[in-house]
Structure 1
Amino acid sequence: MRNINEDTITAAVLESLADTPSPRLKEVMSALVRHLHDLAREVKLTEQEWMQGIEFLTATGQKCTDKRQEFILLSDTLGLSMLTVALNHSKSAQATEATVFGPFHVPGAPVLPLGSDIANGAKGEPLFVDATVRGTDGKPVAGAVVDVWEADAEGLYDLQRTDLDHPEGRAVFHADGEGRLHFKAVTPVAYPIPTDGPVGTMLEATRRHPWRPAHVHFIVQAPGYETLITHVFKDGDAYLDSDAVFGVRSSLIGDFQSHPAGVAPDGSTQAGPFHTLRFDFVLEPAARQG
């Protein structure tokens, strides 16, 4: 490998990968090298620009903690997260569409009985959710496990609040024998993704806004079905057509109906306005995976 130049270096690097034991790793690494080298050639990348890129990626890693994943934010805002979702979760027309996972999920959220209030102190107008889980054949999926999480009325997830010692706005439910579940939450609001790190710098430099439309996150799982990772978006939100992470699908826009103070679906009397949401989750059979 002597006298490598700009015309021969790509082939030399690809040759160095020839003995990679994993065919899939070899395929991915080879494509990565080809595309990176093509990028450098296309834009005539300078050494200073490449160093800025390295510093940007370094800062992205340094911003990551056990409560924040800046690389997921970067992937989301570059559309790569949604592209991989689309590539890997092709569904039949009847099934609920998937969308981005986001950086604020926490495994091990509290398992609560149906009808519980997941807010647990989070601020916001009450939201009463009534949902069903069924398969594409229309049959209910009894006992489906539904993981729910959302931001509060200030657009913040509990992970973003340093003064909390308990979960807010997140829980896990088990659907009943008819595939139904219901719970109380807070009505979601639009919020900006965190902009105090490298991703925020990138958005500002490219004159992009950081806003996400109001939504509630869901993961729905059941034996024999493909796991569904999705959102339900609030109809009428100003950012439905310019989501910073490109995650909106028309089929995922829910009708969050507004109600004046009065009796809520759970029989409680609400002193102020509240919302209700009715939504059906339709799971793809696992046999369609792969």
Structure 2
Amino acid sequence: MSTERTTDRTARLSGEVTDRTAHLTGEVVDSFQRTADPRLHELLTALTRHLHDFVRETEPTMQEWERAIGFLTATGQMSSDTRQEFILLSDVLGISMLVETINGHRDPGATESTVLGPFHMTQSPVRELGANIDLVGSGEPCVVRGRVLSADGTPLPGAVLDVWQADPEGFYDVQRPDIQPAGNGRGLFTADAEGRFWFRTCLPSPYPIPTDGPVGELLKATDRHPYRPAHIHFIASAAGHAPVTTHIFVAGSAYLDSDAVFAVKESLVQDFAETDDPSLAREFGVANPFRYTHFDLVLETA
């Protein structure tokens, strides 16, 4: 068979395959026509079209597709009551940050949101203002202080702050229950009548996200590091206002410019200065010197 005839046959078959795949996509999309929920119909239709386009573009082999299904299966199997591997996968692919950005607060004065992360999987214990969430006492002492405000600057008394962070070695309590007591690095605080909050902790440090599962295999295969810059997680909420899920990042931390989950925003980077102030030390019940940061969480009106 001549090269010209072979080329013509390949082109004809390619066109036939394209027609068949387009027909298949149409059939699947049409199968959703009776979906009662309009938004669900929109999401399923768009997802189907984009997935089918991805397959047409990349033409995966059967072995590659089976491997992809195996990866997703392993991701689900790695998830548990205290770890969410699918959230971690969403994080490292930048999807979590994309969703946060699309749904972020519109008021330019409000605190910017960022990812939830995979370890908000347990309820933070209720603590009094000023309490120490570092139950192990192994890190550099740190005081965190601030206010919860409405976008117009009005204090929000009774605002609730859910706080969680890793220990100085980069592990959350649920990762090492044999070493950390339950609730270590976590606290649920209620702001005072002037919207103020404060608590003691240890200075957070950079740490790697878990790499012992499918997400770790993905990072290794793509030659990406797993590290996150030092940070503390917050969810702040108040009546009549939209809650915000955010972090504060330690200024000068490693990996601020290469966060494994793409979550750093410049407005969330805070100075944790070393302080040797006897009056502050007495006020907070810590020994000098210690790290100190002050920042406000600003919520948008709902």
In structure 2, do the counterparts of structure 1 residues 261 and 280 end up closer, same or farther at CA, with 3 Å as the change threshold? Answer: closer
In the alignment, which residue of structure 2 is the partner of 1:268? 285
SS of corresponding position for 2:22: coil
- Give the drift of 1:105: 1.2
1:280 paired with 2:293, answer no
The 5-angstrom pairing of residues 84-233 of structure 1 reads 84-163=99-178, 164-233=180-249
Q: What is the CA–CA distance in structure 1 between the aligned matches of 2:45 and 2:102, rounded to whole Å?
A: 20
In the alignment, which residue of structure 2 is the partner of 1:249? 265
AA partner of residue 267 (structure 2): S
In structure 2, do the counterparts of structure 1 residues 13 and 269 end up closer, same or farther at CA, with 3 Å as the change threshold? Answer: closer
TM-score (norm 2): 0.90
**Which deviates the most, 15-24 or 26-35?**
15-24
Q: What is the percent sequence identity of the aligned residues?
A: 51
1:11 to 13, 23, 26: 26
1:77 paired with 2:99, answer no
User: CA contact under 8 A between 1:129 and 1:277: conserved in structure 2?
Assistant: yes
Q: What is the CA–CA distance in structure 1 between the aligned matches of 2:217 and 2:104, rounded to whole Å?
A: 31
- Give the drift of 1:46: 1.3
Deviations 1:29-87 (A, max 9, x none): 11111000100111111111111100000000000011100000000000100111111
Larger radius of gyration: 2
* Count of aligned residue pairs for this structure pair: 283
**Which deviates the most, 254-263 or 56-65?**
254-263
1:63 to 47, 69, 78: 78
Give unpaired runs (5+ residues) of structure 1. none
In the alignment, which residue of structure 2 is the partner of 1:27? 42
AA partner of residue 192 (structure 1): P
AA partner of residue 253 (structure 1): V
- Give the drift of 1:165: 4.5
SS of corresponding position for 2:21: coil
Q: What is the CA–CA distance in structure 1 between the aligned matches of 2:286 and 2:196, rounded to whole Å?
A: 23
User: CA contact under 8 A between 1:130 and 1:279: conserved in structure 2?
Assistant: yes
1:259 to 275, 292, 298: 275
In the alignment, which residue of structure 1 is the partner of 2:9? none
Q: What is the CA–CA distance in structure 2 between the aligned matches of 1:71 and 1:184, rounded to whole Å?
A: 32
TM-score (norm 1): 0.93
- Give the drift of 1:122: 4.9
Q: What is the CA–CA distance in structure 1 between the aligned matches of 2:28 and 2:171, rounded to whole Å?
A: 45
**Which deviates the most, 114-123 or 61-70?**
114-123
AA partner of residue 191 (structure 2): A
- Structure with the higher fraction of residues in helix conformation: 2
